[in-house]
Structure 1
């Protein structure tokens, strides 16, 4: 059995899922020591993406980074966003070490802070 990578976003300032947030997935390339963008998606009304970010043969051991476009999400929600918002983007860098496991990376956001953890 091969694992997968999933995510979801909750807006704790509203107590609801964060729909329509843009998320980028980057993978670290050890050869040139840079990150390469491999996917961009948007959350649905449940704050989730419609399918796993990685699964099957795409799901490889390595270092990854999820980039959550928080300021753009709040602008889309009609909130006033400063020219230099406290949270513009939220990057979460993590490792996948076992192709047989499910890696779930949730993000809980508010205009003034965020938290994450390895979910199930």
Structure 2
């Protein structure tokens, strides 16, 4: 399977971060897609079509998600910049989120 997916876990509660808006942008900041995490905190395919090699950003609207969940958070958004070289592979960018910290890695 090719494409791009993400998963956001509220690490403070151990629950999926459902209902968070996530924007996919190209290197220049142009929005390519915008999706919302599902009940499991996932977006299984955020790329509208096959991606070309290049630099991309996933921008997570954590500020509105924190506010909607009555959480006092430090990060109004998270912008994860990454490079896709091999478009024949699936790319997964998960986020572990807490009010004052986040972690990301290249998933599978």
TM-score by length of 2: 0.92
Give SS of 2:30's match: strand
User: Offset at 1:60?
Assistant: 1.5
1:17 corresponds in structure 2 to 16
Q: Which runs of 5+ in 2 are unaligned?
A: none
Q: Which runs of 5+ in 1 are unaligned?
A: 29-33
Quick one: distance in 2 between partners of 1:74 and 1:36?
25
Question: What is the Cα-based RMSD across aligned positions, in Å?
Answer: 1.5
Aligned length: 108
TM-score by length of 1: 0.83
- Deviant stretches of 4+, over 2 Å: none
User: Offset at 1:53?
Assistant: 1.2
2:60 corresponds in structure 1 to 68
1:113 corresponds in structure 2 to 101
Aligned 8 A contact 1:3 1:59 in 2: no
Quick one: distance in 2 between partners of 1:52 and 1:101?
13
User: Offset at 1:100?
Assistant: 1.0
